[in-house]
Amino acid sequence: MQTGESKIRNPKSKIAPAPLLVVGAVAFDSVRTPYGEAKNILGGAATYFAVTASWFTPVRVVAVVGDDLGEEHLRVFQERGIDTAGLVRSPGKTFRWSGEYSGNMNEARTLETQLNVFEQFSPALPASYLDTEFVFLGNIDPVLQLHVRRQLPRARLTGLDSMNYWIKGKPEELKKALAEIDILMINETEARLLSGISNLKKATEFIRKMGPPTVVIKRGEHGVMLFSEGGIFSAPAFPLDQVHDPTGAGDSFAGGFMGYLAKAGELSDTHLRRAVIYGSVMASYAVEEFGLARLLRLTPKEIEARYRAFKALTHFDV
């Protein structure tokens, strides 16, 4: 820790960190794990991202919700200071997902997906968002991702999440989006599918030539790898006694990663590596309890303590 400089957002600070825009899903999740069950709790990639990023920088959210999203849910965003001007309400029900985790809890088994209002999602940005410099394009149709990106002429750092469904279904559209972003976040299987190369080092070299100078490979319980101009950086996941609910781990990683970068304001190798660790810190807290519970009652002290614990976990002398 550099003395006197906190990585965590200080609401009383007079130097405002840059706002970070996220577009993606706000949803209601029903989740079953060996540790219990939760029904119709507030979730969705954009929600997890926004809540975690809000610990580092002001967040603007773009999403569509139904008329079943009540005051109590909006309050979750408001209490974290998240700007909800871009939260569009449509008649109908909010996106709903239900799934269960078993065994080593590495992957969810989806029981049901109801797209509902999300099916017609066409993100329109409020005028107050148009000066955004830090952007995260959550895992949605690459056509919509590009549509959002092009409404933001002042964007100087854009991250993008995608998945097999779009890599297979809209490869040309995804390629166009990749050419206009700075950071791609995907998992190992997706990197292999996107590049057609099985060796991860070669696959990410190939992908970086498609556009994004930085590629972040999420490996779940095996941590994260960062491929960028500064070389390769590898970070483990934090070993936990209990993982109660893995839902939102990847989105919480992305929120911590992008939130820290927006706070830092620059993209040096040093900051990118720190961002990977802050992302991993947030993901490790996210899975300790069901839904957003643990993320909502974090403290800056806890975030810094786990960052230092990551150092203790990985340090060796040369």
Question: What residue ranges bind a second copy (CB under 8 A)?
Answer: 1-2, 103-104, 198-202, 219, 222-223, 225, 231-236, 239-242, 270, 273-274, 276-277, 307-308, 311-318
**What tokens does 225 get?**
């790898």
Distances 185 to 34, 134, 154 between C-alpha atoms, Å: 28, 15, 21
Give me the residue label for tokens 């830090």: 134
Cα–Cα distance measured from residue 77 to residue 56, given in angstroms and rounded to the nearest whole number = 14
In the bound complex, what is the minimum distance in angstroms from residue 74's beta carbon to a second copy?
36
In the bound complex, what is the minimum distance in angstroms from residue 158's beta carbon to a second copy?
23
Distances 224 to 29, 60, 97, 187, 234 between C-alpha atoms, Å: 25, 26, 26, 9, 6
Nearer to a second copy, 260 or 290 (CB): 260
Nearer to a second copy, 196 or 239 (CB): 239
In the bound complex, what is the minimum distance in angstroms from residue 179's beta carbon to a second copy?
25
Q: What count of other Cβ atoms lies within 10 Å of the Cβ of residue 102? A: 11
Nearer to a second copy, 137 or 224 (CB): 224
Nearer to a second copy, 179 or 305 (CB): 305
Nearer to a second copy, 125 or 258 (CB): 258
In the bound complex, what is the minimum distance in angstroms from residue 272's beta carbon to a second copy?
9
Which among 261, 86, 85 is positioned nearest to 156, based on CA atoms?
261
In the bound complex, what is the minimum distance in angstroms from residue 76's beta carbon to a second copy?
30
Q: How far is CA 300 from the centre of its chain?
A: 19
Nearer to a second copy, 150 or 311 (CB): 311
In the bound complex, what is the minimum distance in angstroms from residue 219's beta carbon to a second copy?
7
- Please, are residues 288 and 246 in contact by the beta-carbon 8 Å criterion? no
Which among 81, 84, 83, 70 is positioned nearest to 42, based on CA atoms?
70
The strand pairing partners of 87, in sequence order, are: 63
